[in-house]
Amino acid sequence: MVYDNNNIFAKILRGELPCIKVFEDDRTLAFMDIMPQADGHVLIIPKEPAVTLLDLSEEGAVAAIRTTRRIAIAVKKALGVEGIHVAQLNGAAAGQTVPHIHFHVIPHAAGTVLRMHAAERADENSLKAMAERIKACLD
């Protein structure tokens, strides 16, 4: 699949659209999902332009999973939840809605039901406060 340089994540990477940043290094960016399935839902994207995991270089995949793991540990610590849901979808048929590879880190407590994907925009101040909690738990 051909990469669309005008997708929302490409625009975030170029600084054309804002995000609530949790972590950034030379290969990846982690930021709060503005329509979270649970409080503390973070997205991790590689800076490399790739639509799916299958399009991503091996180096990009290693960097993305390294950051995903780091964020998952911080989210679990920050929220004190029992579980972490990590998701990565490839292609529209699999439910991918943004054509730039990304990982979801979603905190999950026993007995809770996740909100619908991309259904309701969260309060920006709440997202910023949550990002600060998660950042404080990054090692």
Active site residue 102: yes
Q: Which of 41, 100, 102, 104 is catalytic?
A: 102
Cβ neighbour number for residue 3 with a 10 Å cutoff: 15
Which residues neighbour 55 within 8 Å (Cβ) at sequence distance 6 or greater? 1, 3, 101
Summarize the chain as % helix, strand, coil (round to 5). 30, 20, 50
Residue 86 CA: distances (Å) to CA of 36, 51, 107, 123 = 13, 18, 9, 23
Catalytically annotated residues: 102
